[in-house]
Amino acid sequence: MASDHYDVLIIGAGLSGVGMACRLAMACPGKRVGILERRRSMGGTWDLFRYPGVRSDSDMFTFGFGFRPWNELKVLADGPAILKYIHDTARAWSIERLVRFGMRTTHASWSSESSQWTVTARDEDDIEHRFTTDFLVGCTGYYAYEQGYVPDYPGLERFQGQFVHPQHWPADMSWEGKRVVVIGSGATAITLVPALAREAAHVTMLQRSPGYVLSVPSRDAISALLLHVLPERTVYRWARGRNIALQRLLYRAAMRWPRRMRSLLLAGVRHRLDGAASLADFSPSYDPWTQRLCVVPDNDLFDALRAGKASVWTDTVASFTPTGLQLTSGATLDADIVVSATGFKLQVLGGMTLDVDGGPRDPGKLLTYKGVLLDGVPNAAVLFGYINASWTLKVDLAAQYVCRLLAWMEARGVRAVAPKSPPGEATEACIMDALRAGYVMRGESQLPRQGRGRPWQVTHRYEIDRQVLLDEPIDDPVLEAR
């Protein structure tokens, strides 16, 4: 059993963990930083997901780091390009040398006597390792890596074709000339359908209910023109600022005028379908942005539908048959391959448990302070991104706040800080309560809670978070320091 000590220990070497480490390298160069990563390489989601067409569902100018802007004209980048961007960023700040790969963290225990965390992890040979740290940062995302969510499909064992979840796409899988059914209507499903349709005999997207779909250009034509007359750094900085403003405008408009936004979105779909599918299959029963808006590049989903390479069914699975699916309506779908693009299993801190002086702390019962720290848990931050904008926008703000907090602690000789909420502050709402997606509703008990007011509420509003995390003083009566 090995043991190492760090000033700051980061759990996870994905987009959030690499970003946190880079911010520490810039703002706190004297800190000894370590990263524990359960996989054999960096990248997190973008190293795990290898399904056809995998790409971002947010524009890359806002999905990229603020300190290292995305400098290509591609708006929605594919998985390999994003993974390269993460690795290149890590290389620029020498982050990989900080990572201990193949380490699955299982428990973290805080000691008030020593003002330190002891983190337990197991390597790939199931050997236990312990690490101590003054400050702990969770950058593990919000879903379980081991297994995606698959409903309990009746008769699945009878199906004689191939059944797969996108989270675990086989490297040798072939779909050329085959009939494929993709179950789902979220970002993964609408990415898979046009990608598979290029080689498959036919792809059917089977959805329980429709979602909103917005087509955007795959290439930023405005930035392409500006590059002829302005420096590259200026152009990409402007592109980021412009797209942040557009994201916020779209979301605020959806919240204020949901009927108008619904009409605009459906008008765009009607135009792009051009009669290739029923508008009813793209007309959700909920208001825009009550669930995440799905984005496709250059009409690729609609092109596949118009070409007859793909189709959409709105129905539910009654049971699997040896040759496909029996639907609740009585219809049948024949399939050689069924892809269950049915979402994630939520998981906080990668499944790691916590205790403070021997007392267990369940993140699903704790409030978050400014969306970063955990109520009553000393020297610990958990980085969560936005649900209504690019994930990275929020985690980058949170990372900068952590750096500010560490500098404040060092300047004042403070060894431990922990936010303390007043009695009756907690509500039943989780931090992702504004998003009523199926995976959130299934696993919301695992997510930290919302408070009744600031700083215990998660606003999901970039303009507010910039002020709260970057400009407001660290000193706060509810932030207990010793």
Residues in the chain: 482
Spatial strand order of the sheet with 202-207 comes to 162-164, 337-340, 179-183, 202-207, 310-314
Q: Among the residues of 73-231, which ranges form H helices?
A: 79-92, 187-197, 221-226
CB 479, CB 419: distance < 8 Å: yes
Directed axis angle between helix 258-273 and helix 232-256, to 10°?
Answer: 110
**Single-letter residue type at 26:** M
Residue 214, sorted as left (phi over 0), alpha (psi -120 to 50) or beta, turns out to be beta
Exposed/middle/buried for residue 19 (C-beta within 10 Å: 0-12, 13-18, 19+): buried
pLDDT of residue 374: 97
315: its two tokens? 């129905």
pLDDT < 70 regions, the chain: 1-3, 434-436, 438-439
Packing angle between helix 391-412 and helix 15-27, nearest 10 degrees? 40
Q: Assign 218 to helix, strand or coil.
A: coil
Are the C-beta atoms of residues 21 and 86 closer than 8 Å to each other? no
Distance of alpha carbon 447 from alpha carbon 433, whole angstroms: 10
Q: What is the pLDDT of residue 435?
A: 66
Which residues, other chains included, contact 255 with Cβ-Cβ below 8 Å and sequence gap of 6+? 289
Provide the 8-state DSSP code for 166: G
Residue 1 pLDDT: 42
For residue 167, the SS3 value is: helix
